[in-house]
Amino acid sequence: MKKMILATSLILGFCAAAMAEDGAALFKKCAACHGPTGEKPALGKSKVIKDMTKADIEKALIGYQDGTYGASSKAVMKGQAASLTPAQITAIATLIGK
């Protein structure tokens, strides 16, 4: 019985990990403009995102999706953020944010 419980726990843990969003993989498309660690101001205009908090990054990405955030980069970022799920936004924000 203990072996069955252990095996079930391991399988469930593996499945949960496999389903978790990979922030590093998702950030690859962001890195083209923001730099590999979010250290660049995109297009020489944006905030340096590695200096933002996780909450600020989530708020910004959600705001880009619904059109309530951003200035000159609003149109570009709306297209980039449009397809992100809430879980993907959290994964990116967790990877880059403080």
Q: What is the CATH number of the domain that holds 69?
A: 1.10.760.10
Q: Is 26 part of any domain?
A: yes
* Alpha-carbon span 2 to 9, nearest angstrom: 11
Q: Is 6 part of any domain?
A: no
Range of the domain at 31: 21-96
* Number of domains forming the structure of the chain: 1
Q: Is 9 part of any domain?
A: no
Burial of residue 70 (number of CB atoms within 10 Å: 0-12, 13-18, 19+)? middle
Predicted local confidence at residue 18, as pLDDT: 39
Q: Is 28 part of any domain?
A: yes
Predicted local confidence at residue 83, as pLDDT: 96
Low-confidence ranges of the chain (pLDDT < 50): 4, 6-19
Q: Is 48 part of any domain?
A: yes
Q: Is 30 part of any domain?
A: yes
Predicted local confidence at residue 5, as pLDDT: 54
